[in-house]
Structure 1
Amino acid sequence: MRSARDLGASHGWRLKRGLLDDGREVFAKTGTASEVFASEAAGLLWLGEAIAVPEVVEVGADRLVLSWVRQEPPSPEAAERFGRALAAMHRAGAAGFGAPWPGFIAELPMDNSPAPDWPAFYGSRRVLPFLRMARLPAADVALVERAVERFAEVAGPAEPPARIHGDLWSGNVLWSGGSGVLIDPAAHGGHRETDLAMLQLFGLPYLDRVLGAYREAWPPAEGWLERVPLHQLHPLLVHVVLYGGGYRDALLDAARRVLAL
């Protein structure tokens, strides 16, 4: 790398903007996170078969180097293109629920081993492991566990595994080239409503345009809006684990809404 500028730190690794000898601008994460970097690279390569993502320039034991994404202001037109692109990515599908690489969300490990159906995968690979990590009071744990017991009943019509980003909040959507570019995936074969619910958890510019274009390209199953709390249980648990009790009330509200479906 010809030159590099430090951009600070995130989740235990340093972030840098650099210039390669051939003139390409890159973004680099450095640190001792080889499994995390390998997982992110695998996810980017997989998602990149169906949607815009940064190019993986290099991945190693102590670094992940990606092409630099030149950002631009979002627009209604870009949001609609992104909605259609997101539907196409989901339609690209997956071999099963899970992924053939170890999963991570931020620095937290996720079990990507396969499960026979999505409710089983979501409960046993996503919600229950993070519930154990969250160190919540026993009454809170019991409430979420009761919600997990209802997953098969309230998950809606069965769908084949979708190719999903897995951590699709607004910070992981960069506006560039007239659409959205996805970064920092926790990619796996999952349920497409998970990505749609994550977008609604923390908002996104012109989200109504994104969702409207998505629905035109590939309408979600009836009742998908009522199932948003179901799909938000895992990201809310992740935030409880990472950031503490500030997300507890939202988590418990989501669990109660699942029980009311």
Structure 2
Amino acid sequence: MDVEKTAPGGRAALAMEAAGLAWLAEAEADGGTRIARARLEGEVLRVVRVQPAAATDARAEALGRSLALLHASGAAWHSCPPPSAAAPFEVGSSRTPLAPAPVGDGRRWGEAWAATAVRPIVERCAASGRLDGDDARTVLRAVDRMAASDFDAPQPALVASSAHDVARIHGDLWSGNVLWSDVDTGAVLIDPHAQGGHAETDLAMLALFGLPRLERVLAAYDERSPLADGWRERIPMQQLQPLLVHTLLFGGGYAEQAVAVARALA
């Protein structure tokens, strides 16, 4: 039996999710991670149910290798939406539109990520009172450094050798969107915010909410597509955006975490 999904953003949001699933699934032919199958029917997205399995070392290693190949399938530019997307992506209060920039616009990762995914969320957190003035200014100083490319780093080896040096990322790869299953890639991915970006964004998201056997995943990824020096030290920086999204949605301790990360970066 399929899982039926609806969304606050209506059919447009569901269509964007379907486009992202299809785009990510293109990488399966080259060994990329298995992606959930879905079809859009009116105001409902029907997602084929995944048969679950336990997280094992073998499945974790398969996930790491396949995720490296998914990222290496590449994207046209940083923050680009899936090519088949009808419009920029925006749903509810947690996500922001992807950049409607032309191919080859030349923006580096930090500039694009700050403009499309981080600064708008900070501004909404401040407007809603989730961040007070001092905290918002602290976070914005870190975002300014991001926009100036102070935190830019090389992509993993396979992505760096691709045509555009931009990864094809899931974009919302927390542990709940990784369904361990008895498939050749160890897991099936669901619910993406698929876009062009930095591969380390997905890896940092896996770490944020504690994916089981994460070290096995990361070791296998690094073996298949070696990560750039210092990638572990960049994890908190890459976690700033999801922490801000959770601040906007839930407030509380997420705001404290986001400000602490920003303070270390600013």
One fold, TM greater than 0.5?
yes
* Aligned mates of 2:61, 2:90 — CA distance in 1: 29
Q: Which residue number in structure 2 is paired with residue 144 of structure 1?
A: 139
Normalising by structure 1, we get a TM-score of: 0.85
Answer yes or no: is the 8 Å Cα contact 2:21–2:190 preserved in 1.
yes
Normalising by structure 2, we get a TM-score of: 0.83
- Say which one has the larger Rg: 1
Matches within 5 A, 1:1-261: 25-30=1-6, 33-50=10-27, 51-56=33-38, 58-97=39-78, 98-99=80-81, 100=83, 101=85, 102-104=88-90, 108-113=94-99, 114=101, 116-135=107-126, 136-151=131-146, 152-157=149-154, 160-178=165-183, 179-259=186-266
The alignment of Structure 1 onto Structure 2 pairs a total of residues equal to 234
Q: Higher strand share goes to which structure?
A: 1
How far did 1:106 drift?
6.6
Answer yes or no: is the 8 Å Cα contact 1:229–1:255 preserved in 2.
no
Return closer, same or farther for 1:48/1:107 CA change in 2, 3 Å cut-off. Answer: farther
How far did 1:195 drift?
0.3
3-state SS of paired residue (2:2): strand
What code does the residue aligned with 2:112 have? Answer: F
What is the percent sequence identity of the aligned residues?
43
Unpaired segments ≥5 residues, structure 1: 1-24
- What CA deviation, in whole Å up to 9, does each residue of 1:3-55 have, x standing for no partner? xxxxxxxxxxxxxxxxxxxxxx3111136611110111011001111221111
How far did 1:198 drift?
0.6
How far did 1:254 drift?
1.2
3-state SS of paired residue (1:65): strand
Return closer, same or farther for 1:54/1:238 CA change in 2, 3 Å cut-off. Answer: same
Point out 4+ residue stretches in structure 1 off by more than 6 angstroms.
none
Cα RMSD for the two superposed structures: 1.7
Deviates more, 1:161-170 or 1:30-39: 30-39
Unpaired segments ≥5 residues, structure 2: 28-32
